[in-house]
Every structure is written in C-alpha cells, then in structure tokens.
Amino acid sequence: MNYLSTRGGMPPTPFTGVLLEGLAPDGGLAMPETYPQIDAATLDRWRGLTYPDLAFEIVSLFVTDIPASTLRELVRDTYTAAVFGSDEITPVSELEPGLHLLHLSNGPTLAFKDIAMQLLGRLFEWALAQRGEHLNILGATSGDTGSAAEYAIRGRHGIRVFMLSPHDRMSAFQTAQMFSLQDENIFNLAVRGVFDDCQDVVKAVSNDLDFKSRWHIGTVNSINWARLLAQIVYYFKAYFAVTRSSAERVSFSVPSGNFGNVCAGHVARMMGLPVSRLVVATNENDVLDEFFRTGHYRVRGGAGVKQTSSPSMDISKASNFERFIFDLVERDPDRVRGLWRDIDHDGDMNLAATPYFARVADFGFRSSRSTHADRVTTIRRVHADFGVVVDTHTADGIKGALEQREAGIPMVCLETAQPAKFADTVREALGRDPERPARYRGLEALPQRFEVIDADADAVKRYIAAHSD
C-alpha cells in the first residue's frame, strides 16, 4: 500500500514515509492509493474478533512496510483493558431500540482522541528507533489534543513533547490533567496569551526551517494519516455490535470539528462497510453544516471562530475536509489544487452549481448544527429519557442523530468525551455535577509541572534548545 497527496505532488510513499509527516511536500494530505475492499465474507469473519485483532486486520491493510508481527504487537499493546477500561475498548450501549451510543472516551484523557493517539505514540517510538532518530513534538492546545498527545508519548523513548497552552485559560481539570504529568519527556509551556498566540508561536517556530531540522521538530496534528487510520476500526466494531448480519446497514452521527473522525467513517464506508448515513454534527461553528446544506464552503478566519460550550469543535476550517473533496472530485489532484487555490485566495469554494455537489449525498453525508441551548436541552432529554449523562460534544451528535435517523436503520452516536470534562454545561442542564471516573478524583490537588513563558517564538526556541540534546 502506497500513499498519494491530494494535490498530486508526492511520489507513491509507503506508510512509514507519511507516518511522521504533517502535510505532504506539496501542501496536500496523504491518502491511500486505493481503498482495500471488504466483502460480506470478510465482514462475517471479522464479526467475532476482539478489538485488538480487528484493529490489526484493518490497520495491516494500510500498513505494509512494518513487519506483521511487530504491527500486531504494537496494536495489542495499545488496545488493552488497563488503558481503555474494558476489553471491548469501544463498547456500545443502547439508548432505545435503534439508537446507540459508541463509547470512545474511556481512555486516559477521557476523550476519543486517545484511541488514535495511543497507537500513534507506539508507532512513532518504533519508527524513530528504526531510524536511530529522535523527535521533538511541538504543539498548541486549548485542551483535548494536547493532553491526548502527552498521555500517548509520556515515558516513550526518542520523543519529547513541548505543548503550549494559554496560561490560566483552560479548565482546572484540563490544566491539572496535563500539568500533573511528571515525565521527563513532557514539557508544558503555559503561554502568557490566548490559544491563537500559542498557535502563532508554533507556526513561527515551524517556519524557521533551520531550527526545525536542527532540533527535529515534528507535530501530531489532526491531519496525520495514522490518526485517521486508527479511527476506522471502531466504525467496524460498532457495526458488528448493532447488527446480526452483514446485509444490514447502519448510520453514524459524529460530533465534528476538523473532520478527522467522520472522515474515518467515510473511509470505512468506501471500504465497503454497509453505512447508510454519516451525520456531520457541528456546533455554532458551522462551516461543515453550511457546506453539506448548500455546497458552499466558507472558512471563517480566526476572528470568526465562536467560543462555544463544545470547544473541541470550535474551528474556522476543517483540516481533513480536503480528503473527502479529493474523493468527491474523483481523485483529480488538479481539481483539488484549483479549489484550494480559491480557498486560499477568496476564503471560500462554491460547488453548489457543479455536478459534484449533487454527488455529496451519494456518499451518505448529512449534517446538523447545534447551539448552546440545544446542548442543554439534549443533555436534559437524554438524561430524562434514557438515564444517561452525556457531554456537550456528544449532545451535538445526538441532536443530529435524532434529526437524521431513518426507520429500520440503527443509528450510532459517537460519544467523544466524558461529561466530567465539561462539567459547567452539565451542571447547567442537570443541576448537578457529572460523576468523575475514580482515577481522576483529587486530580487538581496533585503537584503540577509547567513553565510560564511569553508568547514569543524566540523564547520558545531557547527553551526547546535548552531542554533537548
């Protein structure tokens, strides 16, 4: 299996060649040359597999340049009950007949990003050891991504994490989750500024190509192909959990920001998983909902991003969206390049009057949009009707699921975070705090390890240089 760039400027490259990279050299995103096709007989065979065995079957179709025995070991070491709370790894529960919740947030940081990031940490460690190299991961976070990356890489050889976050602006829980890590390869930099300042510093450091290569700077951002790959697995796992025969179809509703999670569902569908609808659920930051309703994709620009109570979906543009557009335009890289030229130039692309937009529904995509009031209503309703407490992001997904459900087709809502992570809105909806998993009680009282730093690229560069070798 080789990978191509959505913009056509990368020679066919095997998995390990794209594993440690962000963007392709031409600014595009890595895509598998073809989608392996899964027939009904294979689905029947996979139906009884454990999560790690299923993950190995799927991942090994896309990773042909890591020895199978190594890959199997990495996958098995990643997906354990000790890390994810149960042997099922991603259990499915029933809210009512035909409406299900796929639990993706039982990993170390209580959000679905752990599922991909935990595998990524092991793959990175293995690949770096093979090459005799090391890597300094530099990132900016306002919450979920940074903590998932730190928990995946803590204690691993050959990798350090330098994570910038806005000083005093994350929730006490999120701050404690990151800053309580005492591992020597984890560096928390609390930046005097807001999240955008953190991101600007990361960009400035990454744009200094000499510094970047001298200090082996890398990222773990959401366009990384390996992250998307790891997320394909649970679409299959959930399908098996809610069907009895591989002739049945299932729909999924996915709380979406950068389009990574739902894009993994798209890939699963392209591989032949019998999917009816993929509901792209957004919050007030509705770039994607607007596209799926109208064919017009309008990036919002930094100032246009609204701060919402489902903050992990607060985005101005959806970085993985280019992957779907590549498939939509029949994998024509010239077309993708042209469309992204429009976006870079005018901030938008409009497919409304093209034959492409007419084909969007053929891929199963539907969309929805939620407001803060919708989230509060949904959290209350899900609690009253089903006795289940969900977080704000999951609530956005459930709203979309209820709007887009079809008779006779099971709808699976992806639970992307634990309510304990977003306690304020849950308290507003239910009048009490969500329960916190036992291992996180008393988290805020643990000693914290972090450095306060100015929003200044040179200061961050000096810090990295002083703490690397």
Ligand X SMILES: *Cc1c(COP(=O)(O)O)cnc(C)c1O
Quote the least distance from Cβ 142 to ligand X, whole Å.
Answer: 10
Please identify, among the stretches 69-77, 126-134, 156-164, 254-262, the one whose residues bind ligand X according to the rule CB under 6 A.
254-262
Asked about 421 being catalytic, the answer comes back as no
Strand partners, 251: 411
Using CB under 6 A, which of 222, 309, 367, 368 touches ligand X? Answer: 222
Q: How far apart are CA 432 and CA 272, in angstroms?
A: 43
Q: Is 282 in the site for ligand X (CB under 6 A)?
A: no
Q: Is 416 in the site for ligand X (CB under 6 A)?
A: yes
Exposed, middle or buried, 210 (CB in 10 Å: 0-12/13-18/19+)? exposed
- CB nearer ligand X, residue 136 or residue 312: 312
Q: How far apart are CA 435 and CA 215, in angstroms?
A: 42
- CB nearer ligand X, residue 6 or residue 308: 308
- CB nearer ligand X, residue 72 or residue 227: 227
Q: Is 417 in the site for ligand X (CB under 6 A)?
A: yes
Q: Is 257 in the site for ligand X (CB under 6 A)?
A: yes
Backbone angles phi, psi at 145, to 5 degrees: -65, -45
Q: Say if CB 273 and CB 38 are below 8 A apart.
A: yes
Per DSSP bridges, beta strands 296-298 and 348-350 are: antiparallel
**3-class secondary structure, 140:** strand
Q: 356-385 mask for ligand X (x: CB under 6 A)?
A: ------------------------------
Residue linked to tokens 């569908």: 269
Q: Is 322 in the site for ligand X (CB under 6 A)?
A: no
- CB nearer ligand X, residue 13 or residue 392: 392
- CB nearer ligand X, residue 277 or residue 393: 393
Q: Say if CB 193 and CB 285 are below 8 A apart.
A: no
Quote the least distance from Cβ 215 to ligand X, whole Å.
Answer: 27
Exposure b/e, 42-69, CB count within 10 A at least 16 = b: ebeebbebebbebbbbbbbbbbeebeee
Residues 6+ apart with CB under 8 A from 373: none
Q: Is 256 in the site for ligand X (CB under 6 A)?
A: yes
Quote the least distance from Cβ 115 to ligand X, whole Å.
Answer: 11
Quote the least distance from Cβ 111 to ligand X, whole Å.
Answer: 4
Instruction: List residues binding ligand X (CB under 6 A).
Output: 111, 113, 144, 222, 255-261, 312-313, 393, 416-417
The residues carrying an active-site annotation are: 113
